[in-house]
Amino acid sequence: MKRSNTFDVAPRSSEDAELLHRVLDASASLWNALTYARRQNLADGESVWDVDVASIRGRYKGVLGSAAAKEMQRKSDESWKSFFAAKENGEPTGPPGYWGNEEDGRTLRWYGRCDQYTLETGERSRLEIPIGSDLKDEYGFGYQERLRLEVRGKPKWSGKNGRLELNHDDRTDSFKAIQPVTTDGSRQDSPLADETAALDIGANNIVAASTSTGKQYLYEGRDLFARFRETTREIARLQSKLRNGRYSSHRIRRLYRRRTNRRNHAMDALARGLIERLHADGVATVYVGALTDVLETSWSVEANAKTHNFWAFRRFVERLAHTAEEYGLSIEVRSEAWTSQECPQCGSTDRTTRHKDTLTCECGFEGHADLVASETFLRRQTAVSRPMARPVRFEWDNHDWLEIPHSHESPKEVRTNRSILA
């Protein structure tokens, strides 16, 4: 079975930090270049496998090294194969997406095959990764020398090492390494059991979760989106004052990065906090609604702004999957079509009405639309015998997702247990 170890990674000097940034940026750029070429072929009705990948890799191997550039191609290949497999199975999904851009900020990430890196933990924990010949010449590295980084943290799992992921957190300007490990299955990270959960991912409420244990969690996103739009309006105001022929400025680029980093920080904290809660509930399998069910174009300008500009669903689900792997949970993407319109009392979809967060039915049912959708989604995947308890609600305060135990009675009465929140 698969598990993951997570480590904090620290460059030994400012020069090493600069070098590492360049490696991760080249890795993200290579991913984007491959994605662009393959999406163009897909749009033109041509095979995505006919792209000249050797030529694209060649642009970056001087920074990454040939082996690391090939590993990024393999990662791209796997993503496209998963896309086509999902389409064959009738699962609504979109093609692999980009890892950001230079203006808004890229998702800096690097992958290394198990024989391309060295990770040692103990008194002098260290991680060594290869770099390309151009960087070796520029920074004075020897022919066989690799970039050495300090590592903090102890491995939770032992077994056969897998492909290492190294990524950068813009908000804290820190690096993390995630190392998948295949164990023999003899060790279980209690309290992992065989419970299931289903997530309804939305716009106003980022996640509504229902579990087979009878628990429900709701992560509200309106305030978070309001802050995002406030920054967007300021960007638009500054852009309107630019001289003719100019499209950006240092201040505008900084605001773009801040907006993206704040969103990513909230999403990453949500993913970790939710997975920790589900793991504590004994959940082993998490069903997530297919992205295209959410990303359909809406007539509403505000809804489109949320779904296409703010929420970054693909990145969120990817982070959710990485965190789930760390805790031993599996993520399965399934269609959740009509779950937000189906009445859980009579099963009707044409007699229901949704207004904002409320779903009502002519049969007399009334409930929270997103929580109802997650419960319906869960019942489609597995038999659930327990009734659902009153949901636990969370809202973002720019630092943590705070629990609101009785929000329907007193929205201002907030408490949090920070030991279980990311």
With residue 78 as reference, give the H or E element that holds it.
Answer: helix 66-88
Beta-sheet pairing, 392-396 with 401-404: antiparallel
153 and 6 Cβ atoms separated by less than 8 Å = yes
Residue 331: C-alpha distances to residues 32, 67, 143, 213, 286 (Å): 25, 29, 42, 18, 5
Residue type (1 letter), 367: G
Euclidean distance between CA atoms 310 and 229, whole angstroms: 9
Contacts (Cβ under 8 Å, ≥6 apart) of 265: 169, 171
Helix/strand/coil (H/E/C) assignment for every residue in 211-230: ECCCCEEEEECHHHHHHHHH
Predicted local confidence at residue 275, as pLDDT = 93
Three-class DSSP category at 198:
strand
Euclidean distance between CA atoms 28 and 101, whole angstroms: 9
With residue 6 as reference, give the H or E element that holds it.
Answer: strand 2-10
Question: Taking Cα atoms as reference points, which of 155, 152, 180 lies closest to residue 321?
Answer: 180
**Beta-bridge partners for 330:** 285
Could you list the mean pLDDT of each consecutive 10-residue stretch along the chain, which spans 422 residues? 83 93 94 95 94 94 94 93 82 78 76 90 88 94 93 83 87 86 58 81 87 92 86 90 84 86 87 92 88 46 50 77 83 81 87 87 91 91 82 87 64 32 30
Q: Which two tokens stand for residue 405?
A: 């135990």
User: Residue written as tokens 């151009």?
Assistant: 134
Beta-sheet pairing, 352-355 with 118-120: unpaired
* 188 CB-side CA count, 13 A: 8
* 276 CB-side CA count, 13 A: 13
* 238 CB-side CA count, 13 A: 16
Q: Which two tokens stand for residue 307?
A: 């779904």
CA 322 to chain centre: 8
422 and 416 Cβ atoms separated by less than 8 Å = no
Contacts (Cβ under 8 Å, ≥6 apart) of 393: 217, 218, 220, 403, 404, 407
User: Residue written as tokens 């690097």?
Assistant: 110
Predicted local confidence at residue 22, as pLDDT = 94
191 and 279 Cβ atoms separated by less than 8 Å = yes
Contacts (Cβ under 8 Å, ≥6 apart) of 6: 153, 176, 177, 178, 179, 326
Predicted local confidence at residue 263, as pLDDT = 85
**pTM, entire model:** 0.64
Question: Taking Cα atoms as reference points, which of 393, 374, 295, 346 lies closest to residue 92?
Answer: 295
Three-class DSSP category at 117:
coil
